Amino acid sequence: MQILQDIPLAPYTTLKVGGPARYFVEACNETDVLEALGYARENSLEVFVLGGGSNLVVSDAGWPGLVLKISILGIETAPKNGHVLFTAGGGEDWDRLVAHSVEQNCAGIECMSGIPGTVGGTPVQNVGAYGQEVAETITIVQAIDATSGEVRQLSNAECGFLYRTSIFNTSQKGRYIVTGVSYALWPGRAPRVEYADLKRYFSSSSSDPTLLQVRNAVREIRSSKAMLITPHDENSRSAGSFFKNPIISPAEYDRIAALPQCVEQKPPKYPAPDGYVKISAAWLVERAGFHKGFSNGRVGISSKHTLAIINRGGATAAEIVEFQNKVQEGVFRVFGVQLHPEPVFVGF
């Protein structure tokens, strides 16, 4: 284990903002993780766990403690109860795992192709896209309990998955460091084509798409929305979708739909658990006056995706947060809906 000092964090994030880490450790195995935790404990340092950096806003001051980058790699497969179990290290590139599963003709995560970041980040926010989420396939999350140093294997139920949440970012936030995840996928099963964008993409096709065709379609759609990391494209300097889709009661939806701004078109809605409905944050943002390509100095909205706040070049974290507040205030003023950010905020 090598301990580095004053390492800039902006290059480790897709948004490309943020100050330095006072101490920085790259962990390639669980022993490295345990040694880093021991060092932090002995020196009274707060630990932040870094994965792929795709869902982070790091403050301009950086992180005053120790940043622990998880770089545990490897993918293993094994048959289990009619599924194929894919077990990957927490530092493994997520899209590489998806590609591998498609190559093995196993369904279950193909619609999440192209999502930046690492395997270890997927259970934390119950990552999902285009009609799938990882909670549907995760069987075991291997993690180190930072409070006791114990290596735990948490079942799907123990993870407490809900929309974009889990115990890892709510009730047990900061307690567990994910070192590996197992996903039970379905060999030979047809891909899921339920999301509107995918249905449109294949609407003219005379045959059912394959897993590979769905993977390629998802990546193409994501690219058209600048949700695929492309070097030198300012639209790629983002933290992905910056706001969660609000989940509201049917009565609240009816209130919004009756507003003058919704006379010509009602907000898109989707079923949510317990009789609630999920409405489109992008629709609300757009109709609150923050259209694609809207900018304010060095920060703006992607020209391809309304929910992506982008660093147009040289932006600071403070400018990102100021712009975020501006969008939230605008949506609340017009629709009375509070948007909640999706990225993790570090060092604020």
> Rounded distance, CA 128 to CA 56, Å?
17
> Rounded distance, CA 322 to CA 329, Å?
11
The CB-based long-range contact list for 44-50 (8 Å cut-off, 24+ gap) reads 47/146, 48/21, 48/346, 48/347, 49/120, 49/177, 50/9, 50/12
- 72 to each of 27, 90, 175, 210, 248, how far by Cα in Å? 7, 6, 19, 31, 39
Would you please indicate which residues are annotated as catalytic (active-site) residues?
A: 164, 241, 342
Q: Is the dihedral of CA 304, 308, 309, 312 positive or negative?
A: negative
Ramachandran category for residue 117: left, alpha or beta (phi over 0 → left; psi -120 to 50 → alpha): left
Read off φ and ψ for residue 320, nearest 5 degrees: -60, -45
Token reading at 253? 């939806």
Other C-beta atoms closer than 10 Å to the C-beta of 156 total 18
Element (H, E) at 250: helix 250-257
